[in-house]
Structure 1
Amino acid sequence: MQNLILDLYANVPETKNLTTKQLMILSAAIELFAKKGYANTSTSEIAAYAGVSEGSIFRRFKNKRQLLKFILDPLVKLILPDKLLQFSAETLNRNYLNLDSFVRTIIMNRIKFIKDNLIVLKIFLNEILYSSQLRQDVLNGLPKQFINGFNNQLNSLKSRQQIIDWPNREIFRFLFSTLFGYALDHYVLFPQNLWNENEEIDRLITYIVNGLSPQI
């Protein structure tokens, strides 16, 4: 698990000068914050999980809040924007025949990303609910290539009367807030619940497509 976590942070400048012990602390904090929540995790637990002394945390990260900041800042300012550029290249440079194919591609791509990076994103999803600054940082970090690609796709669908004629910002908010709610419900708030993933993803896509289809 440690290697999977640290791979995500491999190209982050802040981690370049971390010692092996400090990387173990970072990995332990991510795992415990994701599993127990930030508020319910102590620095002594992080130290024990990493196999280091508690003083090792304070020498580099000062306190638990600074450790959380060390996890979230690179995620919001570097990792997520980079992943959105990759997302743009994979999904926003295609020609979509209709709204269903567009929404289905977007949702399946983003759910795969969430599942592949769930342990870090659980911390992000928990914190973004309560931090207006974090939400603003996410919006500020949206790459122009992503925004332009998304707008181009929506404008193309509108020109062919495949999608409702709302402002693009509202369509974006509807689509991604619905996806956010789905991810929060299934992967953060109630991960222990039994559910049929394929069926629920199909319902999610149907719900979004119905909500964004042109009114007749």
Structure 2
Amino acid sequence: MPDTIELWFEEMLKQDAEGNKMTEKQSKILQSAIDVFAEKGYAASSTSEIAQRAGVAEGTIFRHYKTKKDLLLSIVAPVMAKLIAPFVLRDFNKVLDAEYDSYEGFLRALIDNRIEFMKKNLNVLRIMLQEIPFHPELKQQFQNIVVTKVLERIRKVVQKFQIDGNMVELPSETIIRLTASTVMGYVLIRTLYGEREDAVWDDHLEREATIDFIIRGLGMKR
């Protein structure tokens, strides 16, 4: 697991889906599964490799988790319910509760916030991005727990600037979608590619181009 992992995430790994304290072996299995799923994807991962990394017999995994799918769900479902949704909302509160003189100011705070979030949770987020589209249970949880709550908070920020007459007349949901897709595109590429030693990446240029693209597209002036 990354050295930057949050202490409260480590605490979550000590509990099973029912909130009971995990054994040391269970915790090692989950941590190893997160690493393997993040590196290889769910389909290409094997329980034997997870067991080897955890330092346990493969049969030990199946005493705790009936199938590899159960192991995946035991990672992502609790993370969705106990970690991602509360953390996203709590962390977003720093951004969404602040007052901004311009939408550009909001964008800059949002970008800094999401970059820090990605650094601290990259492995778990990589699993979610890889697996959610292929597992209806996870997709439904993501929509119910994360998307709905986050959209409601961002809508209030967007509507403030719409009321002030500083944006093009588009539905707030459309503005949110355009903003989110552009910002997350920049953040993801920056995290997965821009920080590589061999990357040709001017982060200041890319960030300013991203903000300028959104501002101009929404008919606003910088």
The TM-score by the shorter chain falls in which range?
0.7 to 0.9
Q: 2:64 — aligned with what?
A: 60
TM-score by length of 1: 0.84
Q: 1:117 — aligned with what?
A: 121
CA contact (8 A) 2:107 2:211 kept: yes
The alpha-carbon distance between structure 1 residues 199 and 77, as it changes in their structure 2 partners (threshold 3 A), is: same
Distance across 1 between alignment mates of 2:88 and 2:2: 24
The alpha-carbon distance between structure 1 residues 109 and 152, as it changes in their structure 2 partners (threshold 3 A), is: same
Structure 2 gap segments, 5+ residues each: none
Higher mean C-alpha displacement, 183-192 vs 193-202 = 183-192
Indicate which of 149, 152, 159 corresponds to 2:153.
Answer: 149
The answer to whether structure 1 residue 211 and structure 2 residue 212 are counterparts is no
Higher mean C-alpha displacement, 66-75 vs 160-169 = 160-169
Q: 2:11 — aligned with what?
A: 10
What's the offset of the Cα at 1:203? 2.5
What's the offset of the Cα at 1:164? 2.5
The alpha-carbon distance between structure 1 residues 189 and 210, as it changes in their structure 2 partners (threshold 3 A), is: same
Distance across 2 between alignment mates of 1:16 and 1:165: 51
SS of match in other structure, 2:97: coil
Aligned length: 215
What's the offset of the Cα at 1:35? 1.3
CA contact (8 A) 1:163 1:212 kept: yes
Q: 1:50 — aligned with what?
A: 54
What's the offset of the Cα at 1:145? 6.5
The answer to whether structure 1 residue 72 and structure 2 residue 76 are counterparts is yes
What's the offset of the Cα at 1:52? 0.5
CA contact (8 A) 1:85 1:143 kept: no
Structure 1 gap segments, 5+ residues each: none
Distance across 2 between alignment mates of 1:26 and 1:100: 40
Indicate which of 205, 208, 214 corresponds to 1:202.
Answer: 208
What's the offset of the Cα at 1:115? 1.6
The alpha-carbon distance between structure 1 residues 135 and 196, as it changes in their structure 2 partners (threshold 3 A), is: farther
SS of match in other structure, 1:142: helix
CA contact (8 A) 1:25 1:57 kept: yes
Higher mean C-alpha displacement, 81-90 vs 203-212 = 203-212
CA contact (8 A) 1:93 1:149 kept: no
5 Å matches for 1:175-194? 175-187=179-191, 194=199
Q: 1:134 — aligned with what?
A: 138
What's the offset of the Cα at 1:29? 0.5
Distance across 1 between alignment mates of 2:34 and 2:143: 23
Deviations 1:48-70 (A, max 9, x none): 01110001110101121111111
Higher mean C-alpha displacement, 157-166 vs 5-14 = 5-14
Please report the RMSD computed on the Cα atoms of aligned residues, expressed in angstroms. 2.8
Identity %: 33
Deviations 1:29-53 (A, max 9, x none): 0011111221221100000011100
What's the offset of the Cα at 1:6? 7.3
CA contact (8 A) 1:122 1:188 kept: no
SS of match in other structure, 2:44: coil
CA contact (8 A) 2:34 2:123 kept: yes
